Every structure is written in structure tokens, then in C-alpha cells.
Amino acid sequence: MDSEALKKYSALHPKPAGLTLHYGTAGFRTKAEQLDHVMFRMGLLAVLRSKAVVATIGIMVTASHNPEEDNGVKLVDPLGEMLHPSWEEYATQLANAEERELQKIITEICQKAAVNQQKDASVFIGRDTRPSSEKLSQSVIDGISVLGGQYHDYGLVTTPQLHYMVCCQNTQGQYGKATLEGYYEKLSKAFTELIKQVNTGPGESQRHLKIDCANGIGALKLSEMEPYFPKEVLIHLYNDGTKEKLNHLCGADFVKVHQKPPRGLDMKPNERCCSFDGDADRIVYYYKDTTGHFHLIDGDKIATLISIFLKELLAKVGQTLKMAVVQTAYANGSSTRYIEETLKVPVHCVKTGVKHLHHKAQEFDVGVYFEANGHGTVLFSKAAETKIRQLAKEEKDDEKREAAKVLENVIDLINQTVGDAVSDMLVIEAILALKGLTVQQWDAIYTDLPNRLLKVQVADRRVIDTTDAERRAVTPPGLQEKIDALVKKYKLSRAFVRPSGTEDVVRIYAEADTQENADALAHEVSLAVYHLAGGKGAPPQP
């Protein structure tokens, strides 16, 4: 390691005094002007990680659904998964180190993680459309170069596209070609094969879809991909970033949180619409009925639709493949009940955060996971994939072989590395077409229980500790007993509290048989949190 070069370059990316950042589920995220030193140092870390695992590592410059003036960075591990938790710790140490300690901390990481400095390093870089992203990705390149790493800069890509490229590269092309063309070709080919089966009748108009691209990267990449789509796909892009600010009053997060349509998209009754988030790794669907009432179709309903489809196919193929759905405590109780009781598919609940869902889904032959916010995908075990591809080729029974072929195309269409709005959208569109479902029929599979999300400011969120996938509070003493007593007052109700991962607030979720009851329960639980967990400011008002 050239300590002079490190000193010289590090001085060009100085750390603001007194700034401490933490690498969380979403990597680092804050105001763009505070991130220059972090980007440089994540370039350094990516080189170390690449040498440690002897594989290509990804770095994505994005702050997803945050406001345009923010930015962020996350590292991608060799198979397109999130950075290993033990390295999140190193990322935090490196980002917060004083300049004079950089060399020492790098040496410590190399010792702890058994990094062989002699190995080559290779890093893939991608960025979103924020005004600050280009300059910040240049800082990443400085960090990679100082430690002698090789890099490939993909420029503007969606987050899932970068995950995909990293996986392709490290599987020596088995997962696909590590280029944007490779991504477009693989997905559009699988999609085209799937919808060949559709009996086109009078339902032609059903294939129109309006997409709110959150004024982000999704619009750019969808327009690049359009020439690859079959002519049956009629997508109309809104909030394409030419006029308005990224994520401003639009995007999947806005629609999910505010339960209303985005600005800049004009909805007619019963039209199918969807929203991506700023870096295109989340998707939610929605429509307005003839009375003008807004209906949101969130990640839970997306997981349900995909599960119904896969369960039917697996039954036709006649293999004993184990399928499960993975959710968090935020999943609507109606979805859990429907999947377990009607579909008879096991549901597993895990802690909030994509990495927990992804990890659990890997335990099954077919693992479907979605967060209610619309981030999710389907994972197929190596054994299941091999079996399905073999049946699609060799199975003598026509029905079984055809079902296996459909499954094979679903495997190729879904981005198994991470939730991907483009890929998820194509999977959903194919399923709706194949099953001849309208958006209203999809929505009517089950009715969501009314629910309410609240947050209470507390002096220190760490006073709340949870268990049972965050569904029960262990501390402070007496809080869970209080919640249990409140829940008993209402029908079909449940409630839980959990500390926020990012700020000193406690998040509260409540659901019940009516909106009025869900609101009342959420309010009563928030008062209990305020009094028992050190609330700040005035008590919560109903």
C-alpha cells in the first residue's frame, strides 16, 4: 500500500469535523455534500473486500427514495447480495476514521478479515440520476485507484441492474451477460416466451400500464428497454425526470405512505398503474375505482399473486418442491391469513430489513419474499432450478413439461439477486395476462385489514428491545403486557412496536376490524410507549 498516495488523495476528500455516520440496511445515506470522504473510503473498502473474497464487488451510488438533495452508497457482495454484516462494521469504522488513522484502520481490517494484499481487486460502479451522483462516483474511483484496484464504471443504472451485473460477472456468465444489453435480452426473452401462451381475445385493452418512474433512473432504463419488448406491451411512462425533482410527491414510497396517487399521473377509473421508487428496486400497483376511490396493491398483494401462480405451476409439475412466503411483522394480517389458510403455503415472519427476508427465503426450494413497501423477489434453490430446467427439456407428459417451461421462464425473468421493479413488473404483467385477471380481480383476492402506522419520539430508542421477529417487546418492563391488554379490546386486532433503525423514534403498527379501531388502538399504544419508554415533547394526540 502506497501510504504517500493514500495521504495525498485522502486530503482531497476530507472528512467534515464531528460527522459520524453508520452503515445500515441501506448503506450510508445523508445530505450529498457530507458524503465525499465516505465515497472515497468506500472505494478503498471495496478493493479490500474484493481481495478478501477474490471476486468482483459492486458499489452503487444512490439514496433510493430519499429526497433529491440526499445521496448514499451501498456495497454489493459477489452473488449480488448485500454486503456481509461483519463488513458493515468495517465500513462504519472506515467512514468515521480521522484522516491520520486511515492507514492504521486499513491495516487492521486486512488483519481481521485476512485480506491478501497481493490479490487483484475488481469493482463495478453504478449510480442514479441525482445531480450529485456523478461527482460522488468519481470519488469512489479515486479510492479504488489509490489501492490499485481495477474498476468498470457502468454509469447510470438501476440498483438491481448493478446487483445483476456483479452476479453475472462472478458466476462466469452463468447467471447472464454482465452488460445492460444482456440484462434487457434475458428479461425480455423470458417475458416474450411467457406471454406467448396468452389467448388474446377482446381483452386487448388490458395490456396498457401507466408507470410513475419517480423522476428517477427507472424512466431512463425502461425507455432503453422498450425496443426489446414484444408489441403486446404498452407501457406509458410518467414522472420521467425531464421536468420535476426526483421522488418529489411521487414514487413507490410516496404512494405507499400517503395512500394516494403520485403527482403527474392522470388516472382514469380502473386503469392499471404502478410506481417505482427512485432507484427502481421497489414497486407498488394501484388503481381508482368508478367511484373515484383509490386502491393500493402493495408488496403483500404482489407476493400473494406470485405465490398463487407458482403454487399452481408446482402442483402441475408434480414435484415435491418446498415453497414458502417470507414476510415481516408489517405484512397485513389478511395477507398472512390468506396465504396460510387458503393457499396452504407456509409463511415465515422475520425482522424488518431486506437482508433478513432474503436470508430466510434461501432456506426453501422456492422462497417468495416481499416487504409491504414493494421490495421483494423470488429465490429458487440450485436443486429446484436444475430439476425444473431438466423437466422442461425431458419430461414426456405434455402438461408437466409445459408447466416446467413456464417455471423456467419465471426463473429467468425474476431478478434473484435483489428486489427489482422492472423485473417484478414484468412478472406481474405476465401473471395477470396468463390468468386473465384485471387489476380489480387481483385486488379482490383478499381485503386488507384497516391499519395505522405511527411514530413516537423518545429520548433513546435503545430502551425498547424486541423478540419474536420484532412482534413482542421485551423491554421496558410492563410495555408488552400493556399492549396485550389494549389489543384485547378490539376485534381482529394486533399491534407491535419497534425502535427505528435510523432515528430516535419508536414505530407503532396497529390493525383492527375497522379504521376507527385501528386508529384508536395505535393511539393508545403510542401513549403507552410515551409513558413507559421515555417519550419526548408533548404526549401523542389522537
| Catalytic (active-site) positions | 64
Query: Is residue 501 marked as binding?
Result: yes
Q: Any long-range contacts for 113-119 (C-beta under 8 Å, 24+ apart)?
A: 113/48, 113/52, 113/86, 113/87, 114/52, 115/48, 115/51, 115/52, 116/51, 116/52, 117/1, 117/51, 119/50, 119/51, 119/54
Query: Is residue 502 marked as binding?
Result: yes
User: In three state form, how does the secondary structure of 475-539 look?
Assistant: ECCCHHHHHHHHHCCCCCCEEEEEECCCCCEEEEEEECCCHHHHHHHHHHHHHHHHHHCCECCCC
Q: Taking the alpha carbons of 344, 350, 353, 354 in that order, is the dihedral positive or negative?
A: negative
Q: Where in 239-350 does DSSP place strands (E)?
A: 273-276, 283-288, 294-297, 323-328, 347-350
Query: Is residue 120 marked as binding?
Result: no
Query: Is residue 372 marked as binding?
Result: yes
Query: Is residue 499 marked as binding?
Result: yes
Query: Is residue 383 marked as binding?
Result: no
Query: Is residue 500 marked as binding?
Result: yes
Q: How many helices (H) and strands (E) does the chain have?
A: 18, 19
Query: Is residue 64 marked as binding?
Result: yes
Residue 255's CB is within 10 A of a number of other CB atoms, namely 27
Distances (CA, A) of 252 to 41, 66, 72, 279: 31, 11, 18, 10
Q: Distance between CA atoms of 271 and 250, rounded to whole angstroms?
A: 18
Query: Is residue 281 marked as binding?
Result: yes
Query: Is residue 282 marked as binding?
Result: no
Query: Is residue 397 marked as binding?
Result: no
Phi then psi dihedrals of residue 199, to 5 deg: -80, 105
Known binding-site positions: 64, 277, 279, 281, 371-373, 498-502, 507
Known binding-site positions for substrate: 371-373, 498-502, 507
Known binding-site positions for Mg(2+): 64, 277, 279, 281
